[in-house]
Structure 1
Amino acid sequence: MNDELLTLLRSVDTPTVCNAIEVAQGRRGFNAFTRGTMISSAPDDPAIVGYAITAKIQAVKPPTETPDVIRARRMAYYKAMAEGGKPSVAVVEDTDFPHAIGAFWGEVNTTIHKGFGLSGTLTNGVMRDLGDMADDYLVIAGSIGPSHGFVHVTELGTPVTVFGLTVQQGDLIHADRHGAVVIPPEVVDQLADAIQKMQDTEHLVLGPAREPGFDFEKFEAAWAAFERART
């Protein structure tokens, strides 16, 4: 992914990318997206885009492994986040979901991950410190809560599932307040053209609908043109 495409992807929302993937594929039915309502730490911030660095956490119960094992895995987690290829996104599954209570994402961890150069976080887990989280570091999470519980890292680099979306280490993620998608590698080189085509197609309806005197007759004509052009 070149810098020009990265800039473009950060400038559009996730529904646009979801639609553009179908345009690039030439068919309906793309389904590598989250299900349900997620929460954005900063709804007006640009989308997060990057390659997934995956992990799993738990927090409801204390860990059963020894403290040195838990600490070593936590340090391995931070090392992976710091040294993973950029742009990158932390994709962290809380395996306590849907009863997650451990707010792993707050002032400390967003500041650390931003310092490591990550683009943001996608998680089904909990976030907190909403007024003190790192600026320009977006977290798309499952819930908000006050406590970190017994939060600890249980796995690194394995497939994770966040709101119905399975993510592999290295998958290309696009996420914002609407949720997230995994961008198929075979469409990456076509995405810029697909986004432009999709926006041009939508304008066939949006343009007339925003003009004075728009009525059903003009809608019918616009919609016919839209249907001829869309996927």
Structure 2
Amino acid sequence: MENLRPKEIEMLTQVSTATYTTVLLKMGLRNVWIRHAKPLVSDCRRIAGRAFTVRFVPAREDLATPASWASPISSRGAIEQMPSGCIAVVDAMGVTDAGVWGDILCERMVYRGVAGMVTDGAVRDLAGVQGTGLPIWAAGTAASPSVASLTFADWQLPVACGGVAVIPGDVIVADMDGAVVIPAALLDEVLELGLEQERLEGWMMQEVGRGVALPGLYPPNEATRERYEAFKAWQ
């Protein structure tokens, strides 16, 4: 999996997830925001990276056991395959009564240079997890281990996280509003459109601040577009 280039990360993190959803909506993609994945700390920074997918299925008593944690096909095994700079996207089917990850696993991810984790499930050992500094977006916390409700399945396959299809190598951007999936093939186009949308909306905020009424400004009519283009020409 090819890592994002530093310049791509810099550009991606200049644009909010809210703006990306607008850009992708205009491109015909409505279902890109991962439901229920919220930042576990209030001051989280915006991050971007390639998706490294992890999948759980419902617990089955002969498979979901503490002994399974030692298997090569396990959450531990998946972490050892995560490249630096990736964002782990963990499909827990929305199950929140068992933690998919805990503090020791998060600490290992930090050591390997993983940029963050997004899941529609829960994490456990919250104080320890927060202490690792790993940025995490999750649906909640739970004291129970994963095997109480989930069976580890595999990694680097298409998953459904928070109702969104995520393919390995897709681009994830996450901030205070949650996490958005940008299809890998659309990255260059979304980058260009996202930066322009952010510039336009920044200018609109200035216009609102000086008393301009919303009709014709947001969304912009032809006259507003002309004023915006004139503004850009002087920058």
Structure 1 residue aligned with 2:11, among 8, 13, 36?
8
Quote how far apart the aligned CAs of 1:123 are.
Answer: 0.9
Determine whether 1:142 maps to 2:139.
yes
Determine whether 1:198 maps to 2:160.
no
In 2, Cα distance between equivalents of 1:67 and 1:149: 9
Residue 47 (structure 2) aligns with: 48
Kept in 1, the 8 Å contact 2:92–2:121? The answer is yes
Quote how far apart the aligned CAs of 1:66 are.
Answer: 8.0
Kept in 1, the 8 Å contact 2:34–2:180? The answer is no
Kept in 1, the 8 Å contact 2:49–2:86? The answer is yes
- SS of the aligned residue for 1:174 comes to strand
Residue 107 (structure 1) aligns with: 103
In 1, Cα distance between equivalents of 2:64 and 2:218: 61
Distance 1:86 1:146, change over 3 A: same
- SS of the aligned residue for 1:114 comes to helix
In 1, Cα distance between equivalents of 2:188 and 2:125: 38
Quote how far apart the aligned CAs of 1:28 are.
Answer: 4.7
1:92 partner letter: V
The alignment's TM-score, normalised by the length of structure 2, stands at: 0.76
2:118 partner letter: L
Kept in 1, the 8 Å contact 2:14–2:195? The answer is no
Kept in 2, the 8 Å contact 1:106–1:128? The answer is yes
Kept in 2, the 8 Å contact 1:33–1:165? The answer is yes
Residue 154 (structure 2) aligns with: 155
Quote how far apart the aligned CAs of 1:36 are.
Answer: 3.8
In 2, Cα distance between equivalents of 1:11 and 1:129: 32
Distance 1:2 1:184, change over 3 A: same
Count of aligned pairs: 218
RMSD: 3.0
Structure 2 residue aligned with 1:87, among 62, 85, 88?
85
Quote how far apart the aligned CAs of 1:118 are.
Answer: 0.8
In 1, Cα distance between equivalents of 2:132 and 2:109: 12
Deviations 1:50-95 (A, max 9, x none): 22222223575644378766522355x4344334444211111124
